[in-house]
Chain A
Amino acid sequence: MENTYLGLVLAPLAGAIIAGLFGKQVGRAGAHWVTILGVGISFILSVLVFKHHVFDGGATYNETVYTWMVSDGITFQIGFLVDQLTALMICVVTFVSLMVHIYTIGYMHDDPGYQRFFSYIALFTFSMLMLVMSNNFMQLFFGWEAVGLVSYLLIGFWFKKDTAIYANLKAFLVNRVGDFGFLLGIAAVLMYFGSLNYADVFALAPSLKDSTVEVFPGTEWSLMTMVCILLFIGAMGKSAQVPLHVWLPDSMEGPTPISALIHAATMVTAGVFMVARMSPLYEYSETALGFVMVIGAITAFFMGLVGIVQNDIKRVVAYSTLSQLGYMMVAAGASAYAAAIFHLMTHAFFKALLFLAAGSVIIAMHHKQDIREMGGLKKYMPITYWTSLFGSLALIGFPGTSGFFSKDAIIEAVHASSVPGADIAYWAVLLGVFITALYSFRMFFLVFHGKERMDHHTKEHLHETPWVVTGPLMLLAIPSLIIGYLTVESVLFGDYFKDAIFVLPEHNVLAKIGENYTSEIGFVLHGMMAPPFWLAMGGLFTAWFIYMKKPEIADNIKNNMQWIYKLLDKKYFADEFNEAFFAGGSRGIGRLLWRNGDIRIIDGLMVNGSANSIGWLSSVVRHVQTGYLYHYAFVMIVGLMLLLGWHLF
């Protein structure tokens, strides 16, 4: 199998290198063919790997590719761990990546950086595969930072745009704050477990569950809690959880295909994947699980609210992504890791679809993104319309769609969970359903229905986008609708994950829900009587009523609740705070240390000060050397007398 895995990760890398270094030689078509070929091979191999592990019962693969280094008796390796969790992730990553590659041909058609773009997205695919296939913490960190690098390069792809280069710097630095915690977490793992290989660490976890550490003198903290929370800080950066969420909305400055691939479907879910992968550690710390759940719940609820007041089509979807990532984290916190990964998968399909559909609209609108200037696009763009509708229904969890199964499972799981914070989280995810439906269909109605508010010129040129754009939309719409129905039984309630995910019996909420599970149809019927369904319908109806039926209501609400509107419109002032406090504060400290520490004290007082005092001293001593003979003679006589006097008395 080893060659299969190597081929799987190296094919996109080869594509990236050819398109990146020899872009001029291979030309535009060459660049997209070579990268699509690379990712295509990767996808086919992923499907084979999936078949091998899931249907043919292949054993978990855990082998070293090469030894990165040996130090202090500890071997750091690059290696692969392929089990059911990995198999699912690589299929999702390579499928969405392949769709995005094809879509890019249309979206970036006129861009001068065509080859560079393909090189970056293929490189991203490679990095992401290395991340999910890793069998140790170090390689995880490699992949973790490598996807961050590609994200940085792609957000700043249009590097002439000031907003883009501000956004990519911000994204990288905020992620680095997360990675700061992540790296300390890895250091803790190495210190207490003596290895960075998953298998060794997980095997030791049960015996270390009661260990404590002393971070502040005199306090005893559970080792597992410390390790898990440090690692989770990394996940908060990568998966944009409050308060490290601020970079994700700004990342929309990048071209839309990468918003779909990186900032919706794959990279941002790496944090969720990580928590699921580390389930053998998280299971031993209820505190950490509660922390994960509460952070997730805050993100799910409050970021959804912001989505309601956004007017940029991409930013609405971005806040929706933040909110959905919160749902996944809540699931992980409830020990329903399978539900988190399940939602990760369904979300990857429908959110990539929604982003790519938004991109399709943006192409048609000549790169205008304000939904207030759209409307009535249904009749011009039927394929985009229908696929968007399917994507939106999946997002709000309409019964039967893939999003329904995953979201309902999360809500039920949180309801059944007894981890600290579960009750707050339950209300957050439940009310979140209403909010999701409200912002999703607000956007949907404003874009596709109602009055055509665009200018005359744009309207004249409106038409459906080419097949390279609509093809991926249709291919993504299929799993958005049916993948949940097909897989819910085995992934959530069956033994799909086997040993890949570890859940303690007392935390196993999915098993509890599973007791009432009869069939897919039964799940759907049950869902149609549960509160989430009615909340979703309520949100959908509210959106329709406010934005289609009585548009003046929206303005009324806005005017009557100025402060709430302002708070949401300014995204809780998080950007302003960060800019003033962290960025401004760091520059202030830097200037203070430089001007006062380096220039004034060290250079001024110590270095030049000692030089000056030596200068002063010599200017005094210099007076002795007058050059007059009688002075010297006088001194000699005095000296002689003193010496004689010393001798005599």
Chain B
Amino acid sequence: MLTEIPFLSLAIWFPIIGGLIVLATGDDGNAPRTRIVSLIVSVVTFLLTIPLYTLFDITTPAMQFVERSASPWIEAFNIYYHVGIDGFAMPLILLTSFSTVLIVIAGWEVIQKRVAQYMAAFLIMEGFVIGVFSALDAMLFYVFWEGMLIPMFLIIGIWGGPNRVYASIKFFLYTFLGSVLMLVALIYMYLQSGSFGILDFHALKLGSFEQTLIFLAFLTAFAVKVPMWPVHTWLPDAHVEAPTGGSVILAAIMLKVGGYGFLRFSLPITPDASHSLDWLMIGLSLIAIVYIGFVALVQQDMKKLIAYSSISHMGFVTLGFFIAFSIYDRTGSMSGAAMGIEGGMVQMVSHGFISGALFLCVGVLYDRMHSRQISDYGGVANTMPKFAAFAVLFAMANSGLPGTSGFVGEFMVILSSFKANFWYAFAGATILILGAAYTLWMVKRVFYGEVANDNVKALKDLNGREYLIMFVLAITVLFFGLYPNPLLEVMHPTVDNLLQHISQSKL
């Protein structure tokens, strides 16, 4: 009965339609009503995604909640409206709908200009992102994938900082150029298979050379999104210029579509190319972890620092996903690889909470002082003790402290990569030192010490709205740190199935 309700389509289209209604009915004259409507839309969307978890069958790797239109959407190219989720997509959809609620609340009184447009952009974006995570037709996926860029582009371009035009264009070009090659790859596979079904692509036989080209095409699209070194430089600029909500959505959700892409496309479609090019992926991941860790250390702008920290932490995601082949080559079995992939997934979800929380923390300070420079602060803990307690918690989570969700993914990926090669684990584990160094050094300079100046002296502690957001995130971060099993059990069959699939050569 309950399973017949099309929850996935509702989760995709409800926020989009809700966003359009907000856009159509709201203007700055009735901002309070606009905010409430937006909140209702985001909360209802979140509630609509909850059955995706509660009704999820954790024993099967098959796609669930599948909806496929009876007749093609675009008949000439055999394109269907086809959605469904597995253990990879489901947690990310919940992360998306959860984060959007927080973003709407976070933008409550901060955004005074064009409230309706601001809220609508996030709601529409939410629908597109959920679409990305649930699309099973490659063209549908591509439409959502590109559609997602538009609201984000507008969010940075309209509500952003002084250098927003440069940042938004850099963001757009980077990500857009990346996805053009993916489109070529998708069309090529359509010509080979006669279908745009992603699951059909999984089964498609491809030669070694074709696989390599397709793998590289996907890599450009996904690497930009993750972002991987060296195509990461758009992220710090985009974060710095984006409003707080924009930064949160970038960090919590946008980066995740890249990681998700590797799992949904690269690994299952081109397993042999993934195998032969895994050195590239591992190399780039480790460079991201170490190189970016050092770069984060010397940042003067809080948002830039957290942005670099994001890139470094996302290195664990790609490392975890592509470690499987090295383990296989070394030990002759895939045992141990599942921990890497699951660790990467956990890292994606956890990073959504933690970096989202850290960007919200910067937002709290920015709203009061209109500065992101670390040197403008000092001794904030004196005037904002409650806020400081939350910030230290999130900083510790970012440093990977056990008991917080930040530890789980890194721990699993390090354990897994040790099986592949001692030195992978060695390089990865440097985040223990570097991550703590850049995060806690920032905490020291911003929060501790004597009150640095009159502006800091005049700071008011968290208001009820901010407290609520921080509290919810803190509980989430601690919960998944102390009990990550609920997150892991939903993905076991999916991961096993993927490993099974990629251990068989397509050649």
Interface residues of A in 587-625 (CB under 8 A from B): 587, 589-591, 593-594, 597-598, 602-603, 606-607, 611
A156, CB-defined interface residue at 8 Å: yes
Q: Is the CB of A590 within 8 A of B294?
A: yes
Q: Is the CB of A169 within 8 A of B440?
A: yes
Bound CA span A162–B445, Å: 10
A1, CB-defined interface residue at 8 Å: no
Knowing A71-B339, A180-B429, A607-B170, say if A162 contacts B488 (CB, 8 Å).
Answer: no
Knowing A70-B489, A586-B297, say if A176 contacts B433 (CB, 8 Å).
Answer: yes
Bound CA span A72–B327, Å: 13
Bound CA span A65–B157, Å: 52
Shortest Cβ gap from A484 to chain B (Å): 36
Q: Is the CB of B342 within 8 A of A72?
A: yes
A5, CB-defined interface residue at 8 Å: no
Shortest Cβ gap from A550 to chain B (Å): 45
Knowing A162-B449, A593-B294, say if A71 contacts B488 (CB, 8 Å).
Answer: yes
Q: Is the CB of B412 within 8 A of A71?
A: yes
**Chain A residue contacts of B343, Cβ below 8 A:** 71
> A591: which of B298, B449, B482 is its contact (CB, 8 Å)?
B298
Q: Mark A176-187, 1 if CB is under 8 A from B, else 0.
A: 110110011011
Chain-A contact segment, one of B104-112, B277-285, B361-369, B417-425: B417-425
Q: Is the CB of B298 within 8 A of A587?
A: yes
Bound CA span A149–B450, Å: 22
**Chain B residue contacts of A152, Cβ below 8 A:** 440
> A187: which of B402, B418, B482, B485 is its contact (CB, 8 Å)?
B418
Q: Is the CB of B382 within 8 A of A160?
A: yes
B436, CB-defined interface residue at 8 Å: yes
Shortest Cβ gap from A235 to chain B (Å): 16
Interface residues on chain A, size class? 35 or more
Interface residues of B in 422-463 (CB under 8 A from A): 422, 425-426, 429-430, 432-434, 436-437, 440-441, 444, 447-450
Bound CA span A166–B444, Å: 8
Bound CA span A262–B197, Å: 60
**Chain A residue contacts of B298, Cβ below 8 A:** 587, 590-591, 594
**Chain B residue contacts of A327, Cβ below 8 A:** none
Q: Is the CB of B297 within 8 A of A587?
A: yes
Bound CA span A149–B399, Å: 11
B335, CB-defined interface residue at 8 Å: yes
Tell me how many residue pairs across A and B have CB atoms closer than 8 Å. Answer: 135
Q: Is the CB of A149 within 8 A of B418?
A: no
A504, CB-defined interface residue at 8 Å: no
> A173: which of B412, B433, B447 is its contact (CB, 8 Å)?
B433
B263, CB-defined interface residue at 8 Å: no
Which residue of chain A has the shortest Cβ distance to B486 in the bound complex? Answer: A69
Which residue of chain B has the shortest Cβ distance to A213 in the bound complex? Answer: B422
Knowing A145-B402, A159-B449, A173-B440, say if A187 contacts B425 (CB, 8 Å).
Answer: yes
B295, CB-defined interface residue at 8 Å: yes
Which residue of chain A has the shortest Cβ distance to B434 in the bound complex? Answer: A586
**Chain B residue contacts of A146, Cβ below 8 A:** 401-403
B467, CB-defined interface residue at 8 Å: no
Knowing A159-B381, A603-B233, A607-B170, say if A68 contacts B297 (CB, 8 Å).
Answer: no
Bound CA span A439–B382, Å: 39
A59, CB-defined interface residue at 8 Å: no
Bound CA span A611–B170, Å: 10
Knowing A70-B489, A159-B448, A598-B233, say if A172 contacts B403 (CB, 8 Å).
Answer: no
> A68: which of B170, B299, B422, B485 is its contact (CB, 8 Å)?
B485
B16, CB-defined interface residue at 8 Å: no
B484, CB-defined interface residue at 8 Å: yes
Bound CA span A141–B440, Å: 20
**Chain A residue contacts of B342, Cβ below 8 A:** 71-72
Shortest Cβ gap from B452 to chain A (Å): 11
Interface residues of B in 458-507 (CB under 8 A from A): 482-485, 488-489, 492
A190, CB-defined interface residue at 8 Å: yes
**Chain A residue contacts of B488, Cβ below 8 A:** 69-71
Which residue of chain A has the shortest Cβ distance to B396 in the bound complex? Answer: A149
B230, CB-defined interface residue at 8 Å: yes
Interface residues of A in 71-102 (CB under 8 A from B): 71-74
Bound CA span A186–B419, Å: 12
**Chain B residue contacts of A172, Cβ below 8 A:** 436, 440
Shortest Cβ gap from A123 to chain B (Å): 11
Bound CA span A69–B411, Å: 12
Q: Is the CB of B418 within 8 A of A191?
A: yes
Q: Is the CB of A191 within 8 A of B444?
A: no
**Chain B residue contacts of A648, Cβ below 8 A:** none
A67, CB-defined interface residue at 8 Å: yes
**Chain B residue contacts of A160, Cβ below 8 A:** 379, 382, 448-450
Knowing A142-B402, A593-B291, A593-B295, say if A69 contacts B484 (CB, 8 Å).
Answer: yes
Bound CA span A66–B419, Å: 26
Knowing A160-B382, A169-B441, A589-B294, say if A72 contacts B425 (CB, 8 Å).
Answer: no
**Chain B residue contacts of A594, Cβ below 8 A:** 294-295, 298-299
Most A C-beta atoms less than 10 A away, residue of B294, B411, B414, B450: B294
Interface residues of A in 139-157 (CB under 8 A from B): 141-142, 145-146, 149, 152-153, 156
Bound CA span A67–B483, Å: 8
B408, CB-defined interface residue at 8 Å: yes
A165, CB-defined interface residue at 8 Å: yes
A215, CB-defined interface residue at 8 Å: yes
Q: Is the CB of B297 within 8 A of A141?
A: no
Shortest Cβ gap from A47 to chain B (Å): 28
**Chain B residue contacts of A309, Cβ below 8 A:** none
Shortest Cβ gap from A604 to chain B (Å): 10
A511, CB-defined interface residue at 8 Å: no
**Chain B residue contacts of A156, Cβ below 8 A:** 448
Which residue of chain B has the shortest Cβ distance to A608 in the bound complex? Answer: B170
Interface residues of B in 280-313 (CB under 8 A from A): 291, 294-299
B87, CB-defined interface residue at 8 Å: no
**Chain B residue contacts of A611, Cβ below 8 A:** 173
Q: Mark A124-152, 1 if CB is under 8 A from B, else 0.
A: 00000000000000100110011001001
**Chain A residue contacts of B436, Cβ below 8 A:** 172-173, 176
**Chain B residue contacts of A26, Cβ below 8 A:** none
Q: Is the CB of A149 within 8 A of B295?
A: no
A478, CB-defined interface residue at 8 Å: no
Q: Is the CB of B291 within 8 A of A184?
A: no
A208, CB-defined interface residue at 8 Å: no
Shortest Cβ gap from A171 to chain B (Å): 11
Which residue of chain A has the shortest Cβ distance to B343 in the bound complex? Answer: A71
B48, CB-defined interface residue at 8 Å: no
Q: Mark B151-174, 1 if CB is under 8 A from A, else 0.
A: 000000000000000000010011
Q: Is the CB of B433 within 8 A of A188?
A: no
Which residue of chain A has the shortest Cβ distance to B379 in the bound complex? Answer: A160
Which residue of chain A has the shortest Cβ distance to B416 in the bound complex? Answer: A72
> B437: which of A69, A74, A165, A586 is its contact (CB, 8 Å)?
A586
> A586: which of B294, B338, B411, B418 is its contact (CB, 8 Å)?
B294
Which residue of chain A has the shortest Cβ distance to B489 in the bound complex? Answer: A70
Most B C-beta atoms less than 10 A away, residue of A69, A215, A606: A69
Q: Is the CB of B335 within 8 A of A72?
A: yes
**Chain B residue contacts of A173, Cβ below 8 A:** 433, 436-437, 440
Q: Is the CB of B450 within 8 A of A590?
A: no
**Chain B residue contacts of A73, Cβ below 8 A:** 335
**Chain A residue contacts of B450, Cβ below 8 A:** 160
Question: What would be 9 A-B contacts, judged by CB atoms less than 8 Å apart?
Answer: A69-B488, A70-B489, A72-B416, A160-B382, A176-B436, A183-B414, A184-B426, A215-B422, A586-B294
* A-to-B contact residues, CB < 8 Å: 66-74, 138, 141-142, 145-146, 149, 152-153, 156, 159-160, 162, 165-166, 169, 172-173, 176-177, 179-180, 183-184, 186-188, 190-191, 213, 215, 586-587, 589-591, 593-594, 597-598, 602-603, 606-607, 611
Q: A145-B402, A176-B437, A180-B433 are in contact. List 13 more A-B contacts (CB 8 A).
A: A70-B488, A70-B492, A71-B492, A72-B337, A72-B342, A149-B401, A159-B381, A159-B449, A160-B382, A180-B429, A183-B432, A587-B297, A606-B230
